[in-house]
Chains A and B, each alone.
Chain A
Amino acid sequence: MKRIFVLLAFLMFAVPSAFAAIDTIAVDVGISVFKTMPIGVVPFAEPKGKVSWIEEKPHEIVSRDANLSGRFDVIASDKFNLALFSRNRAKHYITGKAVVLSDGRVQLDCYLYVSQTKDLLLGETYKVQQKDMRRAVHDFFDKVVKRLWGDRGVASTKIAYVSKIEGVKQVVVADYDGFHRSQITRDTSISMMPVWMKGNKGLVYVNFKTRRPRLYFKTFGGVENPLFTHLDQTYSPAVNPKTGELLFSSTVDGKTDLYIGNMQTGKARKFAYLKSNQTSPAWSPFATEVLFTSDRGGGPQIFVMGKDGSDMRRVTFMGRYNERASWSPSGDRIAYTSMDNGHMNIYTCALDGSDITQLTSNAGNNEHPTWSPDGKLIAFSSNRTGSYQIYIMRADGSNVTRITKGGENTSPTWSWFYDEINP
């Protein structure tokens, strides 16, 4: 982003002001490193009388999914409009039909068409309660992504985060767009640092009920289980995406080390024997390497090593405070938080520390980046509006959208893909 601003500044000086307006458009396109696909969205037909929608209408949910996805630009139109779609290069459009059934449920017929020919590419029917309609649309949208991009979309994924409820930090889970929030912990002591177990079966998190930070896991609908109780002060959990094993920090007598443990057997061993303190571990997508933070240089810096603790090398060199790296799902970049003048901002860089891109700036503190499982998006928390809330942006820092409202919401962690796509 910084580089682009420099470019922008250069253009402003270099180009006569008469052309400034045109250049602004050009630079705008340039800021988004993403190639997005324009897509038409037309309100769903309601043939047998109007449906009284309790929240957003289906096409509004489609538009929100499309805009959040980092893959599409929505060309909205009240009705099918080939001229408009062609002008904006929207080769496809989404629309549908909504009918209220005799039992009160809604039948949603969702369609993806080719604009020019009106060929039907994809059609799905959902019969759902209105409250479940959002998830039905998410499901359809992920099928659209699959059809047009060949990738899995994230509209049916979730985000776990920490929400202050009646003054106590609790772990909650919501759909990736912030809707359908449900509270997972109900403790009088702080819960924090949630991460997803393999297969999205439950969460691992830290709780303070013993007056010390300790890891627990809880399957959805199950009970809470303490983890690795033979170790003192456990936190910073990271689930191995292949084996489900847990990498985490444990602090004994002021010294913090990484441990790796099996959540089923409760067995754990030290992961690396280093003089420095280590925390914030993160697995590479195929669990072959591990990112972590070490304070060996005084302040926190990001390092990488093999899964057997070998071949350690430093990744970040710019600035004095680089922390909490996470690996992009495609494996080519890392996102991390850096402190500058007391403010936290989110950066990405290549694995050798080069090609640093600043994603957030001049907007309070921006922390705790977490990649969407398709690598297109990054969720993070920011206090840019005064209180901490969760936001989603594209992986290039553009299109920042807030997904929580009210209270204090921090520490988002994106779920894995769901194996089965739910209706």
Chain B
Amino acid sequence: MKNITKIVLTASLACLALVACSKKQPPATDPAAEDAPAAEATATAAQAGPNADSLAAEQARLEAERLEAERARLEALINQIMSEDVYFDFDRSELTEKARELLAQVGELLLKEQRFTITIEGHTDARGTEDYNFTLGAKRAMKVKEFLIAYGVSADRMESVSYGKENPKVEGSTEEAYSQNRRANFRVNIK
């Protein structure tokens, strides 16, 4: 399941890379692909004369920088949202005061970045049955979704899913591990 999260992260970033035409993402394959248009641009510029050449190159460079900055900004935002876990009390799905504060920040980000869609994943700690923990995780994810709807985020940008106790963040059977695992977290996609 951790792999899934990683895949999602990679997929989201790959999406971004496409949107932003980044030079860095994905690191292994992209440079080759990026070289071609750049070379083409140089060739066109060369025909137009030395002045136009440097001007076009400068524009291309600025544009690339702008896209790169935009990509970095979005990536930072996505990372921020994905790292904002909301925690719950044992066998409860009510949002705590702290959870509400945090969700308000996430709501703010989502209102600003209309292209983001999210999947809210509800989780439980390792105690209890698999079956009931699915329903509990679902209730937690739903409480988060309801809060964000109330905050103004459109419901069709959010989907919720329960992982029950199947995807713990922290292994172990201590209260510390349990409290870390009773959570809802976000997966971010770009429309």
Contacts and interface: CB of A to CB of B under 8 A. Distances in A.
A344 B132 CA distance: 13
Interface string B165-177: 0100000000000
The bracket for how many chain A residues form the interface is: 35 or more
B4 A211 contact: yes
Given A233-B162, A251-B162, A254-B160, A339 B128 contact: yes
Contacts of A324: 129, 131-132
B131 A321 contact: no
Contact of B132 (A192, A280, A298, A411): A280
B11 to A, nearest CB: 11
B128 A249 contact: no
B134 A251 contact: yes
Interface in B130-179: 130-132, 134-135, 138-139, 141-143, 145, 160-164, 166
Interface size class of B (residues with CB under 8 A): 20 to 34
Nearest to B178: A342
A279 B128 contact: no
Contact of A279 (B4, B132, B145): B132
Interface in A246-275: 249, 251, 253-256
B91 interface: yes
A211 B164 CA distance: 12
Interface string A173-210: 00000000000000011101100000000000000100
- Most A-side CB within 10 Å, residue of B1, B130, B145, B160: B130
B161 A190 contact: no
A251 B130 contact: no
Nearest to B141: A254
A interface, over-half SS: strand
B47 interface: no
A367 B129 contact: yes
Given A213-B164, A235-B131, A254-B138, 10 more contacts: A189-B4, A211-B161, A213-B162, A233-B162, A256-B134, A256-B138, A339-B128, A344-B129, A367-B129, A368-B129
30 contacts: A169-B166, A188-B3, A192-B130, A192-B166, A193-B130, A208-B4, A208-B166, A211-B119, A213-B134, A213-B164, A233-B138, A233-B161, A235-B130, A235-B134, A236-B134, A249-B134, A251-B138, A253-B142, A253-B145, A254-B142, A277-B135, A279-B132, A280-B129, A280-B132, A323-B128, A323-B132, A339-B127, A367-B129, A368-B129, A411-B130
Interface of B: 1, 3-4, 91, 119, 127-132, 134-135, 138-139, 141-143, 145, 160-164, 166
Interface of A: 169, 188-190, 192-193, 208, 211-213, 233, 235-236, 249, 251, 253-256, 277, 279-280, 293, 295, 298-300, 321, 323-324, 337, 339, 342, 344, 365, 367-368, 411
